[in-house]
Amino acid sequence: MAANEITSRSFINITKYKFVWLCVTAILLLPGTLGLIYGAIKNHSPLKVGIDYTGGTILQYGVHENIQNQELATLRTALAKAGIENPNIQIIHANAENQKTNVNLKNIISIRTKFISEDTDTENKITEVIAKAHPNSELMSVTSVGPTLGNELFKKSFTALIVAILGMIIYLTIRFKFTYALAAILGLVHDTLFVCGVFALLGIFFGVEVDSLFITAILTLIGFSINDTIVTFDRIRENLRYYSKKMSFGEIVNASVNQTVSRSINTSLSTLITLLALYFFGGVTTRDFVLAMIVGVIVGTWSSIFFCTVLVSIWEDKDAKKIAKAKEL
């Protein structure tokens, strides 16, 4: 029997437990969503956004010595004395030693202030304060974004995202069906919400901020996750062609998921391997970007298997029942 062939290797039963999977998805989304709501109420912004979106200046100094945590307080008072208002100081452990390029960085002191690009005096004052504490320090990077520009950047990225999603819906509707397209896009919304939620929590507990690279990470994971979802849908489409007379839609969904699950997991694993290499051995500046990707790849795999397919099977089952009813009448 054909049905036996494609159901013989079932590990996951999607259709039998569809409401269980939906509940698990909802529970997993809950903490992050709460984090986003908390941020929105308390700080008027769901995520702790960096200067890319709020405007401001970040000065980063490379230091060759180890830095004790209590030094932060000393630096803060010294900066306050120099007339710098509310500086946000962070120590990033770099531990970069590279004899060829003559790099020997232990730490990076990162100082965030209001927008000071035009006013070179303030920059010099800060540099003086740091130089007093660490004579060998070196100003490694300056990032400044004007207040009006930040808002514009955010709007622009957001528009790009919405238009990209519309484009994908149209393509998927042509190649599959509108319900499939909608399920795939809801999967993307799920992934984006989850990753944003994780970063909202990281922002609340560890002060992690999102910058323009974060948007790039979201875009990548959208591309990745839609890949995963489409491969599964493609299998459903193919199996429908061969087995639709012998099996119910639910059975076909189940079989298709089980046929593609090892591919989904293997692809995600190989991507995770490169991401983990980047996370542990790549540069400090992209670490948050890579972290967002790691979280995204994992939830993207989850959503393609347990979320998008469940949605499709619920909607398509309803459609099938309607058609059956119409036929009876």
179 Cβ neighbours under 8 A, 6+ residues apart = 311, 312, 315, 316, 319
In Å, what is the CA distance from 187 to each residue of 15, 190, 253, 305?
17, 5, 16, 10
215 forms part of the interface with another protein (CB under 8 A)? yes
Q: Which stretch binds another protein (CB under 8 A): 38-46, 69-77, 154-162, 194-202?
A: 154-162
Q: Shortest Cβ distance from residue 187 to another protein (Å)?
A: 12
Show contacts with another protein in window 239-258 (CB under 8 A). Answer: 242
Q: Shortest Cβ distance from residue 55 to another protein (Å)?
A: 9
Residue 273 corresponds to which tokens in the numbers above?
A: 């391997």
> Is the distance from CB of 85 to CB of 127 less than 8 angstroms?
no
Angle at 296 between CA 290 and CA 298, to 5 degrees: 110
Nearest to 183 by CA among 25, 324, 47: 25
Three-state DSSP class for residue 149: helix
45 forms part of the interface with another protein (CB under 8 A)? no
Show contacts with another protein in window 163-182 (CB under 8 A). Answer: 163-164, 167-168, 171-172, 175
Of 2 and 20, CB closest to another protein: 2
Q: Shortest Cβ distance from residue 159 to another protein (Å)?
A: 6
Q: Which stretch binds another protein (CB under 8 A): 69-77, 79-87, 118-126, 247-255?
A: 118-126
d(CA 209, CA 30): 21
189 forms part of the interface with another protein (CB under 8 A)? no
224 forms part of the interface with another protein (CB under 8 A)? yes
Q: Which residues pair with 104 in a beta bridge?
A: 97
270 forms part of the interface with another protein (CB under 8 A)? yes
> Is the distance from CB of 223 to CB of 167 less than 8 angstroms?
no
213 forms part of the interface with another protein (CB under 8 A)? yes
Of 35 and 60, CB closest to another protein: 60
Q: Which stretch binds another protein (CB under 8 A): 36-44, 73-81, 196-204, 231-239?
A: 231-239
